[in-house]
Structure 1
């Protein structure tokens, strides 16, 4: 009961989340935005497959919300519906080309930033399939202006048992959209890592656009190449109960080792977490780690700017 009372108190005092829409080349894109009055920096968050920006603002659970936690700690959080999701879902075919998705996202991000006070610097955080877009953003020359990068819930190789279980359930790399019933624990991890109301809620689910290649395809083709072109600090997170990707200290170290041009890399094996780190009972702990890393990146930039001005 004390935990639920605290959650109710937090909900009453938490900054408000607003749904925003911008247009790029005449087509709409949507985001959920929550900001401190004078944000220290912006967390630009990209959700994974089969969901929307609501992943970062769990319904009925403000204590699990990256948007609200970030705003309470002095940040702005812009959780964008990736191209082909949210309001742009009817236009999904337009975003089949990765370069168009990248350019559209950068343009949309600028328009969302125009709606915030002070034009603060941007830290990108992404989950699962959203890491494909985040990695392209960071590897692009425009990415050198970003504060840093958090990627989570991805990897280099799928766990073999998971692939066999999904194939047995009728899920293949060629199948898109909502997952068949009974695959949630295979993908999310153990049910006890999530609150019952979150585990059973349908509200975060969304059809995936037909263009969206399964994560294994882009990882095998592009991950190492993109990682070598990232020149900003990187944190890579996996839950200690991750069931989709190979996990553990060796897997974490292998991935961060690919970021050869990054000035600093950090690994985070998040305790008490499955694949969906922002929805589990440990979500707040995970979000505080993300925000702590972002804060380090902000401080580094401030020191660098002072040195340049001296």
Structure 2
């Protein structure tokens, strides 16, 4: 673990590219001769800074992944970062998926890709990731990580999520409490989203038929899938039951790995256990890069 220390000082820079007249921004950290490229997609009410929290390099996915030999592009999802204010061009899921694919291609231009691209998503970013991974354009992905998502809401979040869907652009104290529970899982200057918050575009709440669509799209994901639920998750049903329910949807994946991150709240990449979480999933990325599927004689889809 101590060998990661010096490498965490790696350069992270912001880059903006043009996607058919709409600016797309990202945080980028490049490895020398990368094994693979990780495209990271943040959740709601934040930006790509979620994956490189200011002042906390040990919490940074970008810095840890570069130390492990991967280039990372943390894309500001449609309606966030430089594309905020262009929501009229991203009203439909298809428009947002096209935008993300085009932005990733533009950001990868001239960069070494290693053996391929891995998608890593958190919370609301998982919707876009599942759409991309189930799209024919995503057939060559190395794999995907989905954290902070599920099918059934935790009882503690039902009312807060209902209010949020009515208007995702407004701050919701009840939702903030479940998203950042428990306080001790985060450094004090990180808890509550300090330093990484952003306004949510209106489309975030308009997913009335998402659960049925999610089941349909998940079955079409043809690449290895890693699922992470936090020990103290309060937004989605957690524990073995929640993970098993989620894993059961990915019937077309050659391998599905379920993981409960000990000591973590919903925001796994900015909590005190973020480094442990990132290293765990980076091991899965390395396996995907090496072409590892299910072990012989072992049930692969629900490992």
TM-score by length of 1: 0.89
What's the secondary structure of 1:158's corresponding residue?
coil
Q: CA deviation at 1:250?
A: 1.3
Would you say 1:239 and 2:205 are equivalent positions?
Answer: no
C-alpha change, 1:118 and 1:297, in structure 2 (3 Å) is closer
Find the counterpart in structure 2 of residue 152 from structure 1. 147
Would you say 1:298 and 2:283 are equivalent positions?
Answer: no
What's the secondary structure of 1:90's corresponding residue?
coil
Would you say 1:223 and 2:218 are equivalent positions?
Answer: no
RMSD between aligned alpha carbons?
Answer: 2.2
- Determine the C-alpha separation between the residues in 1 that align with 2:123 and 2:71: 22
Deviations 1:221-268 (A, max 9, x none): 311101110000001101010000011101101111111110000001
- Determine the C-alpha separation between the residues in 1 that align with 2:114 and 2:196: 30
Find the counterpart in structure 2 of residue 76 from structure 1. 71
Deviations 1:116-170 (A, max 9, x none): 2356510000000000000000000111100001001010011122223566xxx
Would you say 1:99 and 2:94 are equivalent positions?
Answer: yes
- Determine the C-alpha separation between the residues in 2 that align with 1:184 and 1:49: 11
Q: CA deviation at 1:200?
A: 5.4
C-alpha change, 1:241 and 1:13, in structure 2 (3 Å) is closer
C-alpha change, 1:291 and 1:178, in structure 2 (3 Å) is farther
- Determine the C-alpha separation between the residues in 2 that align with 1:71 and 1:184: 31
* Structure with greater proportional helix content: 1
Whether the 8 Å CA contact 1:10–1:62 is kept in 2: the answer is: no
Whether the 8 Å CA contact 2:157–2:175 is kept in 1: the answer is: no
Find the counterpart in structure 1 of residue 121 from structure 2. 126
Greater mean alpha carbon deviation, residues 113-122 or residues 24-33: 113-122
Would you say 1:116 and 2:87 are equivalent positions?
Answer: no
Q: CA deviation at 1:285?
A: 0.6
Q: CA deviation at 1:13?
A: 5.5
Structure 1 runs not aligned, ≥5 long: 1-5, 303-310
Deviations 1:189-209 (A, max 9, x none): 100000111115532110011
